[in-house]
Amino acid sequence: MRRVKLDRVDLQILKDLQNDGRITNVELSRRAGISAPPCLRRVRALEEAGFIRGYHADLKAEALGFDVLFFALVGLDNQSERVLAEFENLVAGWREVRECHMARGPSDFVLKIVARNTAHENELTTKLTSAPHVVKVQTIQVIRTSKTHPGVPLEGESAEPEADAG
C-alpha cells in the first residue's frame, strides 16, 4: 500500500466522494479545481493507499422489509485471540449483522443488526445467546434515528449547515 500525503485537493476529493460516491470524475475534478485526468489518478492513488475502502448505495432498510434495527452488546467467556476470532468469523456469516465492533468496556463486542420484525429480532437474539463462548447479550432496539452520517469529518466541513445566501 502506497502512502499518500494528503493536500487540499485530496481532502476535497475525499469530501466530495464521501458525500456522493456517484459523482462523475468531471464534476469531481471541477470541484477540486484540477483537470479530469489528474483527478482520476488522485482517486486511484487514494484507493490504493487505503483512504477509500469502497463505494456503496445507502439502502432504506424499511423499504426492503427490515423494520427493526437493534444493537447487541455481547460478552464472551474468554478473550483469547482464538475465541475472539471465532466469534468474529461466526457473525461475519450472519447477513443480518451489518457491523461488528470489538469493544473496550463491559462488553466484548457491539453488533449492529437488522431484522424483519420483532419476532425475527427475538430469533436472532436466541441464535446469538446460544453461540459458542457467548455468556451475555444485551439488546437495544432503535426507536428512531435522528442522524446517520457515514464516514469521518474532514477538514473544511462546517459543523453547522450553511444558510442560503440568497
pLDDT in tens, the chain (166 residues): 555 589 999 999 999 999 999 999 999 999 999 999 999 999 999 999 999 999 999 999 999 999 999 999 999 999 999 999 999 999 999 999 999 999 999 999 999 999 999 999 999 999 999 999 999 999 999 999 999 998 999 976 655 544 444 4
- Residue 125 belongs to domain spanning: 62-141
Establish if 43 belongs to a structural domain: yes
Establish if 136 belongs to a structural domain: yes
Establish if 88 belongs to a structural domain: yes
Q: How many domains does the chain have?
A: 2
Establish if 2 belongs to a structural domain: no
Establish if 107 belongs to a structural domain: yes
- pLDDT tens digits for range 84-98: 999 999 999 999 999
**Looking at the DSSP assignment, which residues form a beta bridge with residue 74?**
109, 137
Crossing angle of helices 36-48/25-32, nearest 10°?
A: 100
- We report the CATH number of the domain holding residue 90 as 3.30.70.920
- We report the CATH number of the domain holding residue 38 as 1.10.10.10
Establish if 38 belongs to a structural domain: yes
Q: What is the DSSP string of 22-77?
A: T--HHHHHHHHTS-HHHHHHHHHHHHHTTS---------TGGGT--EEEEEEEEES
Same domain, 66 and 128: yes
Same domain, 68 and 137: yes
Same domain, 28 and 82: no
What does pTM read for this prediction? 0.86
Same domain, 125 and 70: yes
**Looking at the DSSP assignment, which residues form a beta bridge with residue 134?**
76
Establish if 153 belongs to a structural domain: no
Residues counted in the chain: 166
